[in-house]
Amino acid sequence: MKPFLPRRAEPLAFAFLVSGMMTFFVSGISTAMALGFSPGMPGKWLAAWALSWAIAFPILIFVAPLVRRLLPAIVRRD
């Protein structure tokens, strides 16, 4: 695939992809633990994922700059 976003969109693209992937796995595990692997589980998982992603993406956009500022206080520069 040929890149199509301008460089200035990289932080948003990062937040979009990371929040989507993380919420996909976490909601899947949580849904499976709550409901077990049943015929209706995939639909409930996708519904939980959609809601989780809709919440996680804007939060990550807000939190990522804060995390970048906190990292120098906890990561040693050798």
pLDDT per position as a tens digit, 16-41: 999 999 999 999 999 999 999 999 99
Q: Using CA atoms, how far apart are residues 42 and 49, in angstroms rounded to an integer?
A: 10
Note the pLDDT of residue 77.
87
pLDDT per position as a tens digit, 41-75: 999 999 999 999 999 999 999 999 999 999 999 99
Q: Using CA atoms, how far apart are residues 49 and 53, in angstroms rounded to an integer?
A: 6
Residue ranges of domains in the chain: 15-74
Q: Using CA atoms, how far apart are residues 45 and 34, in angstroms rounded to an integer?
A: 10
